[in-house]
Amino acid sequence: MFLQIARVKAYNTGIPNNCRTMSFPATRMRRMRHDAFSRHLMRETRLLPEDLIMVAFVCEGDNTRQPVASMPGVERLSVDLLVELAGECVAMGIPALALFPAPPDSSRSEDAAEAWSPDNLLHRAARALKQAFPQLGLIGDVALDPYTHDGQDGLTDDSGYVLNATSTHAFCPTPPSTRPASTALSVTL
């Protein structure tokens, strides 16, 4: 009955006679979706906690939460609260945190010197997290905007123009072509 109705619809829509039989996508074979095991094997996308990365914004202080005005419901956390959040993530199976520091304005400078300090906010947060959860992956925001006086993501000249070559050299003083293949940009934790 259904096939007859489909042929009538095909006929009425001006489809040529040799194309009146149903084909994909009009006919969707469901034999692969009949049983749970085959649905599990055939599905295309599966999202698990181990596929996720938790984004965390870090601020100075103890037991401190600062709302992020541009992102309602999102807060910057002090290092102690960040460690608690990391514990929840580890318990849920989330393997990594991406850290974005929000150091105090007093640590900003024209040359972004605080970015290289071994005791800056990002380094202290990374050390605390690795001490509590050595298996946790950490992804650091390698950028200068939290540390520059003008919030630019690089070092600037007197007119405010970002000096790309100077900024790149600040991150990687040795050109990649002369660096040993096994060397990677790293931070001592």
Length of the chain counted residue by residue: 189
How far is 84 from 132, CA to CA, in rounded Å?
Answer: 10
Q: Give me the residue label for tokens 């405010």.
A: 160
Residue 77 corresponds to which amino acid?
L
**What confidence tens digit (pLDDT) does each residue in 133-184 have?**
999 999 987 788 888 888 888 888 888 888 888 888 777 765 555 544 443 4
Least confident of 32-41, 64-73, 84-93, 179-188: 179-188
Which two structure tokens, joined as six digits, stand for 19?
């194309």
Q: Give me the residue label for tokens 């006679």.
A: 17
What pLDDT, on a 0 to 100 scale, did the predictor assign at position 178?
56
**What confidence tens digit (pLDDT) does each residue in 97-141 have?**
999 999 999 999 888 888 888 899 999 999 999 999 999 999 987
DSSP H or E run through 136:
none
Confidence (pTM)? 0.68
**What confidence tens digit (pLDDT) does each residue in 71-86 have?**
999 999 999 999 999 9
